[in-house]
Amino acid sequence: MIELRPLTAENMETVRVWRHQVPETLRTPYMLTKGMQQDYYRDVICNRESHTRYFALWTIAYKVPTKRGADHYPAEFIGYGGLENISWENGNAEISLLIGPEYRGNGYGREAVKLFLGEAFNKMRLHSVYGECYMCGPWLFWNRLLDAAYGNGTFEGVDSICDNEAFLPCRKYWNGNHYDSYYFTFTRQSYENLMRDTSERNEQADTGKEHEAVHGQTDDSVRDRCGTSDYIHGCGIE
């Protein structure tokens, strides 16, 4: 499980290190200095008049009973992201996500997207949330989320995408090549579908844990505490 917290200046320095490891996923074509990152934190993140709402992503601390007493798992800062380019007049915003390299592959990306969409639709009264991911980056992560949100099944080619998806040509120049981008939109209805899909996954996971407990295999259930999905393949968009 993860939660949203306010971003700190210390968090932003960690983010600066993370983003330098995945330049192929970012719009900004240059590396940032510590001073540049802190300017962004002060002028954009901390400015309530800006058209940006970013959050720190933290795991939730928990403990697991053992024969020795309990194993404690402290909360960790695992990523950041949120909504940018917010248009209050039109009721839309762009989603952004960055998961720390050592925390990928645990389902945190999927959880983070649900939290961001919850902020957009349940608190900010937005109508839609869009995003863009370069195809030299983890675009399949977003495509699979759209499949879950709209019930499209597995991506099989351009002809199978829905009205809420598109490919834009030559949007990123990286390592000597131009790459297209995957453009997508979440609506409130698709968000509700995604939450329903997650609820069904959790019920299946709980059933599996009960089965393991009956057979005396409770230790294996610890691996599911931080999410059962494994959709993220790298950083998201910036």
Give the three-state DSSP class for 155. Answer: coil
DSSP run (H or E) holding 235: none
Cβ burial 9-46 (10 Å sphere, 16+ → b, else e): eebbebbbebbeebeebbeeeeebeeeebbebbeeebe
Contact in structure between 60 and 5 (CB atoms under 8 Å): no
Instruction: Read off the pTM.
Output: 0.80
Contact in structure between 208 and 68 (CB atoms under 8 Å): no
How does pLDDT run across 98-139, given as a tens digit for each residue? 999 999 999 999 999 999 999 999 999 999 999 999 999 999
C-alpha dihedral, 9 to 13 to 18 to 22, nearest 10°: 100
pLDDT of residue 63: 84
Q: Which residue has the tokens 């959790």?
A: 202
69-78, 84-93, 182-191, 219-228: least confidently modelled range:
219-228
Confidence tier at 223 by pLDDT (50, 70, 90):
very low
The ranges assigned to domains in the chain are 2-224
Which CATH number does 2-224 carry?
3.40.630.30
Alpha helices in 129-170 (DSSP H): 139-150
pLDDT of residue 74: 93
Mean pLDDT score across all residues of the chain? 83
